[in-house]
Amino acid sequence: MAKKGRAKGEKPEAIISALQAANEELRSKLTDIQIELHQEKCKVTKLEREKVQEGKRIREQEQHRHTAALTEQRARWHEEKLKELAALRESLTRQHEQELARTAKIKEGEIQRLRTALSALRDGSGEKVRTALTLEAREEARRFFDQERVKLLQEITELKSSKRQTDEALNTMILADKMKAGDLRTEHQAHQEQISKIKWDCERDIRRLDMRRNQKRMSELKATIRKLEDRNSILVDERNELLKRVRETEKQCKPLLDKNKLLSRKNDELSHSLQRMEDKLKSITKENLEMVGSSLFSNIASNSLNDLDQATDDQEIEFLKLQVLEQQSMIDELTRVSTSQKHEPGRHIVVDTFYGYDEESMDSETSSVASLRMDRTPATPDEDLDESLAAEESELRFKHLTREYQALQRAYALLQEQKGGVLDAEMEAKGHEQLQADAQRYKAKIEDLEKELALKGQDSRWVEEKQLFLRRNQELLEKVEKLENENGKLQQELQDSKDQNELLEFRILELEERERRSPPFNLQIHPFSEGVSALQIYCIKEGVKDVCIPDLIKLLDILGDNGNLRNEEQVAIIQASTVLSLAEKWIQQIEGTEAALHQKMMDLELEMEMFCKQKGYLEEELDYRKQALDQAYMQIQELEATLYNALQQDKVIKYGEPLDELQKDELRTAVEKLRRQMLRKSREYDCQVLQERMELLHQAHQVPSRHIFIYQYLILLCCIN
């Protein structure tokens, strides 16, 4: 009992140490989580910085490539212009030389003619010379005019042929440009589809991996929370048990405390007596010294008496010293026990199990320490006060730890809400590297295609389309970056979509069950008349009267066929036109189904009213037939009674003796047979009447087949009854 009592006093120290260890562990976990959060933030910022730097580097490379291509094209154009100028200069110099030679020949001919004319003038008369000169001049002018006309006609034909050739070359170039543009457009569309497919695959893989990682992390956190809750419950139970033991020890220690007070009083009295004896001893030693200095002879004479007095005084002093030493040893021992009790709970072995911390061999320690404490003297009132203060401190620390644990749980919940799940930086880095590798691979494919197109030949229009294609690729890369940024937001909306999917699946199951239970019916959709747009009618109903849906669809088709627009704009216009056409068809189908359902509801209401009327009529008819059947039963019973009486009277009159059992049985069978015949005839008559009335109702109202089946079933029931 003594050992158990002492162990109960030491239990709060153990729970305090365990709570401190749990507090330290929770703080360490909180610091680890904060460190992980900081690392994740650093990694995210680093990835964003790397992404921005990569984008800048790619833009710089693209810009450098564009500038290099532009300078190369400008140099090529400059060389071509120089070649054209040199050829033009050579042709002009050649024409100039030809013109000079021709003018020189003309001048030489004129000089020769003038010389001949001059010689003729010198030789003959002037009139002949004048006429000859005029004729010659006219002939020369006509010849020159004919030559010039032929030359001009030749130039016109050459110009027409060159124009025809240039037109043919222009047409061929336009066709080649269109073919190249179509090829580039198809290739761009294929690349865009591949990029979108790869992007969706990557996003799906990322979402799946994030879901798995989040589920795994959530399961781990739930397991840790479960462990902490189990440990908290264990600690609460231990705390309650310790409080019970502390109360029991306080009850047991009350007499010991009283005894400790008495011993402390005795100790004070003994210390005072010891002080008085020491003072007395000092005074006696002084008197002895004075007596030794004053009288030597008297001491020698009375040596025996002084020796006896001194011996008695020495014995008393030694006895008092022994008592003081015993009291001092008891005080030291008590202080030593109290200090050992304060330090011993920290040396308990604590084992980290799956369900929490467990103290090894607690029962044996409590029993041994309790026996050690009860065997020795009890502690002082100050030490009892320290123990009560320690228990209060343990309670306060436990409350503080529970508050910290709740705060940690709230902080963890807030952290999960802010982060939207635990991010895995390594998986994000791998996904980012995979996307970069795919982008590099597609860039290499684009460069190979550019080289192939360069080998086939290129012109200014192709260069412009190439620049547009590169610009579109840059825009696509920027869109990919934006989509990667939006991926985080989509991950946050993933849980909401899961919940909505579950609700929708449950709703679908309900609708399928309702459809399975409900009777089937066919809907006949009434199409709208031609020239009337359902979407136009819907827009007019909504108040939008300025929009003409057919004209809008035609305009979108015209814009989709326009070749000056970009590929994305053409795709968007085509998609918008298809969406409008599908919306129109959908609205037509919805309105048709609505009209069919409305008609079906009206038919069902009419059928319900008619069925209610027929049901009431049949119920009245059935009641009437039941009454008639009851009356027939009563008449049959009366007839049976009268027949039985008549037969008995006939038998008595005829034979003059009572009927035996065989005759009675034959009479009963005959009566039963007659009764069955009458019932059969009445039922056949009732069934015939009901059948005739049902046929009349069917001819009058054209009741559906299932209602006829119900009525036939009622007729059969009546026949059975």
Span 86-111, pLDDT tens digits? 888 888 888 888 888 888 888 888 88
Rounded CA-CA distance 719/711 in Å is 12
577 confidence band (pLDDT: 50, 70, 90): low
pLDDT (tens digit per residue) in 392-436: 766 776 776 667 667 666 666 666 565 554 445 566 667 667 777
Handedness of CA 75, 78, 82, 88 (dihedral sign): positive
Confidence of residue 155 (pLDDT cuts 50, 70, 90): confident
Q: Calculate helix-pair angle for 661-701, 567-655, nearest 10 degrees.
A: 150
Rounded mean pLDDT, 685-708: 60
Across the range 385-396, mean pLDDT stands at: 63
Does the pLDDT at position 161 exceed 70?
yes
More confident residue, 8 or 294: 294
- Length of the chain in terms of residues written: 721
The answer on pLDDT for 708 being more than 50 is no
Structure tokens, 684: 């056949």
pLDDT at 70: 83
* Res 315: pLDDT: 65
Tokens of 47: 């990835």
Lowest mean per-residue pLDDT among 1-5, 331-335, 463-467, 675-679: 1-5
Q: What is the pLDDT of residue 653?
A: 42
Q: Is the CB of residue 575 less than 8 Å from the CB of residue 514?
A: no
pLDDT in tens, 61-72: 888 888 888 888
User: Which token pair is 405?
Assistant: 């644990």
Q: Is residue 143 very low, low, confident or very high in pLDDT (cuts 50, 70, 90)?
A: confident
Which among 603, 601, 600, 617 has a CA at the least distance from the CA of 697?
617
Q: Which residue has the higher pLDDT, 69 or 472?
A: 69
What's the confidence (pLDDT) of residue 136?
78
Q: What is the reported pLDDT for 249?
A: 80
Tell me the average pLDDT across 309-337: 61
How much is the pLDDT for 595? 79
Residue owning tokens 């939207």: 420
- The amino acid occupying position 421 is G
Chain segment 540-560, per-residue pLDDT in tens? 766 666 667 677 667 666 766
For residue 353, the cross-strand partners are 356
Q: How far apart, in whole angstroms, are the C-alpha atoms of residue 333 and residue 493? A: 70
Residue 324's Cα: distance from chain center in Å? 82
134-138, 501-505, 596-600, range with the lowest pLDDT: 501-505
Looking at the predicted structure, is the pLDDT value of residue 380 above 50?
A: no
What 3-state DSSP class applies to 356? strand
Q: Which residue has the higher pLDDT, 396 or 561?
A: 396
Give the per-residue pLDDT at 342: 46
Q: In this predicted structure, what is the pLDDT of residue 81?
A: 82
Q: At residue 520, does pLDDT exceed 60?
A: no
Mean pLDDT of the chain: 69
Mean pLDDT of the region 679-693: 70
Asked whether residue 168 carries a pLDDT value surpassing 80, the answer given is yes
pLDDT at site 301: 47
Strand partners, 359: 350
Q: Is the pLDDT of residue 265 over 70?
A: yes
Query: Helix, strand or coil for residue 357?
Result: strand
Banded model confidence at residue 225, pLDDT cuts 50, 70, 90: confident
- Taken in order 552, 554, 560, 565, the sign of the CA dihedral is negative
Q: Which of 375-379, 503-507, 620-624 has the lowest mean pLDDT?
A: 375-379
Count of C-beta atoms within a 10 Å radius of residue 13? 22
Q: Given a cut of 80, is residue 523 above it in pLDDT?
A: no
pLDDT band at 368 (very low <50, low <70, confident <90, very high): very low
- State residue 534's pLDDT score: 61
Over 50: is that where the pLDDT of 127 sits?
yes
Q: What is the mean pLDDT of residues 239-258?
A: 81
Looking at residue 4, its pLDDT comes to 46
- DSSP of 531-583, one letter per residue? T--HHHHHHHHHT--S--HHHHHHHHHHHHH-SSS-HHHHHHHHHHHHHHHHH
Q: Which of 619, 625, 624, 628 is nearest to 711 (CA)?
A: 619
N- to C-terminal Cα distance for the chain? 90
Confidence of residue 528 (pLDDT cuts 50, 70, 90): very low
Segment 588-599, tens digit of pLDDT: 777 777 777 778
